[in-house]
Chains A and B, each alone.
Chain A
């Protein structure tokens, strides 16, 4: 991993299209500004990871489980 030290107001540039600027630091929090083309998705890392993990858990949906779920659903009067 490349490690760089930056001060508030300074930035780093990745390629020719992405710029990340350190806006301010407050205690343990750092605010970053990110300029990137709209086709490049930018997400908070931990939220992205959680969604990825949930997708992986959900991706092996099976016919029997779906059948059981829809039966339970309809039995409940939905």
Chain B
């Protein structure tokens, strides 16, 4: 971290990245498949909203796209226990925020959101953990298009 409280690192796909110290998330367990990677910068680019980049500070080949699941699945209400939030030091519910990882594809209908493994974040302390839900209503592959089909169809009707 430099004197301006910023962290600069490189990502293979997104190039050089500078984030405020307050946008650096600490995953004490890493993420499944990436257990060694504990530090990620969260980057919001205006014209990419509501999607955010979640980029590994330590490994330039690793970067995710995440989304607040409530924006596309307003009924998203996963069951989880207090043990799922272990290590996050959540003291008040307003400190807890959820993200889901989006799996991108060249084919829009194959873009999916992982609602089975949401990322819980203590936004006050910037501690994060990917939860592994027992909740069978959710899978690792929810189509973004399906969730959004109605408004998508409207958009196409307008443009066509």
| Interfacial residues, chain A to chain B (CB-CB below 8 A) | 38-39, 41, 43-44, 47-48, 50-63, 65-70, 72-78
Is A54 a contact of B101 with CB atoms below 8 Å? yes
Q: Which of B2-10, B18-26, B89-97, B148-156 contacts A (4 or more CB under 8 A)?
A: B148-156
Give the residues in chain B near A69, CB-CB below 8 Å. 51, 65, 102, 104, 108, 111, 144
Is A44 a contact of B155 with CB atoms below 8 Å? no
| Interfacial residues, chain B to chain A (CB-CB below 8 A) | 13-14, 29, 31-34, 47-51, 53, 61-65, 83, 86-87, 101-106, 108, 111, 114, 116-117, 130, 132-134, 140-141, 144, 148, 151-152, 154-156, 158-159
Give the residues in chain B near A54, CB-CB below 8 Å. 101, 103, 114, 116-117, 140-141
Task: Classify the interface of chain A: helix, strand, loop or mixed.
Answer: helix
**Which listed residue (B29, B33, B141, B152) contacts A59, Cβ 8 A?**
B33
A75 to chain B, nearest CB (A): 5
Cα A66 to Cα B34 in complex, Å, equals 21
Is A70 a contact of B101 with CB atoms below 8 Å? no
**Which listed residue (B51, B83, B144, B148) contacts A66, Cβ 8 A?**
B51
Cα A36 to Cα B118 in complex, Å, equals 23
Give the residues in chain A near B33, CB-CB below 8 Å. 51-53, 55-56, 59
